[in-house]
Amino acid sequence: MTSIMKNKLRSLLPYAIAVTLLLLVWEVLARTVNVSFIVPPLSEIFAVLFGLVFTAHFWTSIFLSLLRITMGFVIGVVLSLALAICAHFFKPLEYLLTPIVTVIRCTPVASFIMILWLLLSEAVIPSLIAVLIVFPVVWQSAHDAMHEPDKELLEMVEIYNFTPSKKLWYLTVPTMIKGVLPAIITASGLAWKSGIAAEIITYTKHSIGREIANAKFFLMGEELLAWTFVVVLLSFIVEILIKLLLRKAAKIWE
Amino acid sequence: MGIVVTDLTKTFDDKTLFSNLSFALGDTGLVRITGPSGVGKTTLLRIIAGIDKDFSGSVDRDGDISYLFQEHRLLPWLSALDNVIVASFNDADENDKESVRALLYRLGFSDNELLRKPSKLSGGMKQRIALARALARKSDILLLDEPTKELDSSLVSTVVDIIREESNRRLIIFVSHDPLLDTVEVDDLIRLSRI
């Protein structure tokens, strides 16, 4: 084992101990309360999860939830970046978008879900909620990155008479993208959680949210926690994948 | 006439850097600005370039400028070669690209080094790229702030040769603390002293 691997394992050890302790506390609580739909034992949760893994609807629900929320996330990122660039060059758009972004940021997600549910089919709501959650986070960071460019580089492009399109392509856009990467990672976690919340509330067909809602309706605590565990695990995997992807993208601008 | 400076006065933090400075420079030639540290040599270059506009008097400049900043100011997301091409040309054709490559080879770069991003270049390499960017632009006036900073002594003579050649075609004004440049023959000298 290399020293790098050893150091990595050593740094993970405290987290592994913390997780083990938390699971132990859960198990003790489950045995003490002894009401499986409130605090089911870990063995039962994992038994349910093991059973679910071999069903088609488990994978269909995961696939369609991922598809819906990822679509919303991607649309949200692209839309906010495009509008941030347009607003940078067309001030009236910035004045129009600033209060809209503030309203979106301050409105509870559940309110948005209810408003959209009045107007639209439940199938599109998780995607739209992901767009609405991603938009203010990414727009604001893109807006800030473009308004605080590197003053030395700005002086350089002015001295070298960069045309507006050249300045946009070689200074504004790369500065914005570099500044916006951490916000995209944050937004991905928020989009995932809000998308699942929208699925639960609107009882979206073929979704993780619907499975969670069903488990709650029928007081199936083990299933509720098994699906919640799936959501947490997927959120973790998605965040790692996005981080890897963005790290690769960031290398272009290093 | 390349540059005409009349009654230029610059104060900074209640301190007068220069007062009623006047000089006229032609379309070509090599000019050095000298003086002790903190006397305002870089400030004078920035005023001539039009970056610093907070002064009294007048600066009349005839033509485009290129500027070698004290910091490299390279675009971190572009390769060394692209940093020169993008800044120097609006629509570079094959001849332009070839002339940039030839200049960079002369400044000691290999093909492989030209594809590296600035973060993968040493301080001296970044300085040479920034210098190449200033030289490659077909400007009428070239302002060079410490052109040999971070360069090996072996490369200083190459840079001096290039600057001398270019000064036959355009006006070059430079500021330098490098003693290796003290022997360089210049056409004009602007000596700034403390007030």
Concatenated DSSP letters of chain B:
--EEEEEEEEEETTEEEEEEEEEEE-SSEEEEEE-STTSSHHHHHHHHHTS----EEEEEE-S-EEEE-SS----TTS-HHHHHHHHH-SS--HHHHHHHHHHHHHTT--HHHHTS-GGGS-HHHHHHHHHHHHHHS--SEEEEESTTTT--HHHHHHHHHHHHHHTTTSEEEEE---GGGTTS--SEEEE----
- Does the distance separating the beta carbons of A160 and B77 come in below 8 Å? no
> In chain B, what residues touch A166 (CB-CB under 8 Å)?
86, 90
Please give the residue of chain B at the shortest CA–CA distance from A162. B87
What residues does B144 pair with on adjacent strands? B68, B174
The answer to whether the CB of B22 falls within 8 A of the CB of B55 is no
Q: How many residues does chain A have?
A: 254
Segments of chain B with pLDDT less than 50:
none
How many other β-carbons are positioned within 10 Å of the β-carbon of residue B49?
21
Alpha helices in chain A (DSSP H): 3-33, 42-53, 56-89, 91-106, 109-119, 125-147, 151-159, 164-167, 173-202, 208-217, 221-252
ipTM: 0.91
Both tokens assigned to B92: 């570079």
Same domain, A202 and A229: yes
> In chain A, what residues touch B117 (CB-CB under 8 Å)?
254
> In chain A, what residues touch B49 (CB-CB under 8 Å)?
159
Same domain, A161 and A97: yes
Number of domains chain A is built from: 2
Whole-number Å distance between alpha carbons of B15 and A193 = 59
Both tokens assigned to B44: 């004078």
Same domain, A114 and A201: yes
Residue B115 CB partners (closer than 8 Å, separation 6+)? B79, B80, B81
Best of B52, B71, B75 to mutate (most A CBs within 10 Å, chain A): B75
Same domain, A200 and A78: yes
Closest by Cα among A217, A213, A49 to A126:
A213
The answer to whether the CB of B9 falls within 8 A of the CB of B56 is yes
What is the count of residue pairs from A and B with beta carbons less than 8 Å apart?
45
Please give the residue of chain B at the shortest CA–CA distance from A173. B77
> In chain A, what residues touch B78 (CB-CB under 8 Å)?
170
Same domain, A22 and A147: no
- Does the distance separating the beta carbons of B133 and A159 come in below 8 Å? no
Same domain, A75 and A156: yes
B90 vs A155, A163, A252: nearest CB: A163
Closest by Cα among B24, B127, B36 to B80:
B127
Residue-level pLDDT, tens digit, chain A, 254 residues: 677 778 888 888 888 999 999 989 988 888 888 777 778 888 888 889 999 999 999 999 999 999 999 999 999 999 999 999 899 889 999 999 999 999 999 999 999 999 999 999 889 999 999 999 999 999 999 998 888 878 999 999 999 999 988 998 899 888 888 889 889 999 999 999 999 999 999 999 999 999 999 988 888 888 899 999 999 999 999 989 988 888 887 776 65
Same domain, A186 and A228: yes
Same domain, A151 and A198: yes
Please give the residue of chain B at the shortest CA–CA distance from A177. B77
Whole-number Å distance between alpha carbons of A14 and A57 = 37
- Does the distance separating the beta carbons of B77 and A254 come in below 8 Å? yes
> In chain B, what residues touch A254 (CB-CB under 8 Å)?
76-77, 117, 119
Whole-number Å distance between alpha carbons of A245 and A188 = 12
Q: Is B137 on the interface with A (CB under 8 A)?
A: yes
pLDDT, position B169: 93
Same domain, A30 and A56: no
Task: Give Cα separations from B7 to B22, B32, B56 (angstroms).
Answer: 5, 19, 8
Whole-number Å distance between alpha carbons of A246 and A249 = 5
Please give the residue of chain B at the shortest CA–CA distance from A152. B73
> In chain B, what residues touch A152 (CB-CB under 8 Å)?
69, 71, 73
Strands B29-34 and B171-175 come out as parallel
Please give the residue of chain B at the shortest CA–CA distance from A252. B77
- What CATH number corresponds to the domain at position A60? 1.10.3720.10
- Give the minimum alpha-carbon distance from A205 to chain B in angstroms, rounded to a whole number: 45
pLDDT, position B141: 95
Task: Give Cα separations from B99 to A179, B94, B108 (angstroms).
Answer: 35, 9, 14
The answer to whether the CB of B155 falls within 8 A of the CB of B128 is yes
> In chain A, what residues touch B89 (CB-CB under 8 Å)?
none
> In chain A, what residues touch B66 (CB-CB under 8 Å)?
159-160
pTM of the model: 0.74
Residue span of the structural domain in which A16 resides: 1-34
Same domain, A187 and A215: yes
Q: CA B3, B8, B11: angle at the middle one, nearest 5?
A: 135
- Does the distance separating the beta carbons of B87 and A160 come in below 8 Å? yes
A160 vs B71, B77, B137: nearest CB: B137
- Give the minimum alpha-carbon distance from B139 to chain A in angstroms, rounded to a whole number: 9
Please give the residue of chain A at the shortest CA–CA distance from B83. A170
Same domain, A14 and A104: no
- Give the minimum alpha-carbon distance from A164 to chain B in angstroms, rounded to a whole number: 11
Whole-number Å distance between alpha carbons of A61 and A65 = 6
A155 vs B51, B65, B75: nearest CB: B51
Same domain, A85 and A5: no
